[in-house]
Amino acid sequence: MIGEINFDGLVGPSHNYAGLSPGNLAASLNAGSVSHPRAAALEGIAKMRANLALGLTQGLFLPHRRPDRAWLTSLATDPAGAAPWLRAAALSASPMWAANAATVSPAADTKDGRCHLSVANLMTMPHRSHEWPETLAQLRLAFADPAFAVHGPVPPPFGDEGAANHMRLAPGHNAAGVEIFVHGVAGGGFPVRQHAEAGRVVARAHGLDPARTLHVVQSEAAIAAGAFHNDVVAVADGLTLFAHEQAFGDPAGFYAELRRMLPEVAIVEVPASAVPLGDAIRSYLFNAQLVTLPEGGQALILPAEARETPTVWAWLEAMVAGNGPIRRLELVDVRQSMANGGGPACLRLRVVADPARVDPRFLVDEAKLDRIARVVEAHWPDSIAPDQLGDPALWTRIEKARAALLDLLELRELI
């Protein structure tokens, strides 16, 4: 049966704070701190358990090879000889942010009636630019069924960062929806991650109806304030768009077009007078999972930081006490991910499909999460300090940890 599957990226054993993303305020602020890969992965597993408890279908994407020795070889170096920033880029655990894995169009929206996935190229950041081949390999395994079409990346020079800059609104999983591609133009000195043409390429590749597709500009103010992806200032689910007043370059024009295409849409806009843009970004208010629950109604799955930000929590409490579509708040602790610049929505890629068509090795239940947690507890490093990134013993431990996970999940073909 067609439904929404949330695929979370498991935090890898190389999780560290190297501060590799200019414009990502949390990542820059925590650069040089000691990370805790084991705790980070267990936080992510707890988040997946919480989704299962809500009755949601849960999937998993796996850590990539780290250090990425092949990438360093292509740069005519190796872990021992690489400059420190290149070594850090080769050790990055950023594939855990599955929202950047791909852009997904459900079968109800596409010309050929298949679910289409286009792997993101992530070319604007060196530490992420080498992710897509391994992400593509996982996508082609997980979605090998003919019900899916998996596409390669948008070619350079058009930067594409996947579902973090894409939203879909529809009255149901089996109903045609409106797909929204959000791109940047200027970022107040910060790099713009999503190119306008990338969204158009993906829309054409997926066979989307131009009459039900929107290409929207993210506001320069949002990017300059640290909203490096649209999902830091807006999120959508079902017929609900939840966004900050300053999320888009032309909100009035965007909302008018959206209401013309989908008259029943509910736009929940948070005013800057109630929640300043800086508070929204620091708390990752919008980097929440907005989900439709099996029993009906919508819930926001929020980072714990939302409750710790007074303006944000006051607005949320008032919202759920009202008559709007979002009536439930669920808090999760993903502090290790948050400290590197990614909240609950960053950690997941939503795919609307029949779970029976997905390779079961990429789906999880409580028992499988128990087994994964045991591997994490046995093999993931407890901590990684910045001066350890050049330690060959750490590289070996990271590689062995990932191999133990792949053995458990019977996915040795990804070694």
The rounded distance, in Å, linking the Cα atoms of 145 and 61 is: 17
One-letter amino acid of 47: K
DSSP structural state of residue 130: T
23 backbone φψ class: left, alpha, beta (φ>0; ψ -120 to 50):
left
CA distance 350 to 2: 13
Name the H helices within 190-338. Answer: 196-205, 220-224, 251-261, 277-283, 310-321, 335-338
CA 274 to CA 227: how far, in whole Å? 18
Partners of 103 in the beta sheet? 118
* Maximal C-alpha separation, the chain: 60
Catalytic residue positions, numbered: 161, 229, 346
Residue from 122, 90, 78, 70 nearest 12 by CA: 90
Q: How far apart are the first and last CA of the chain?
A: 32
What is the C-alpha to C-alpha distance for residues 53 and 236, in angstroms, rounded to an integer?
A: 22
CA 166, chain centre distance (Å) = 11
What are the tokens at 34?
């000691």
- CB count within 10 Å of CB 212 equals 15
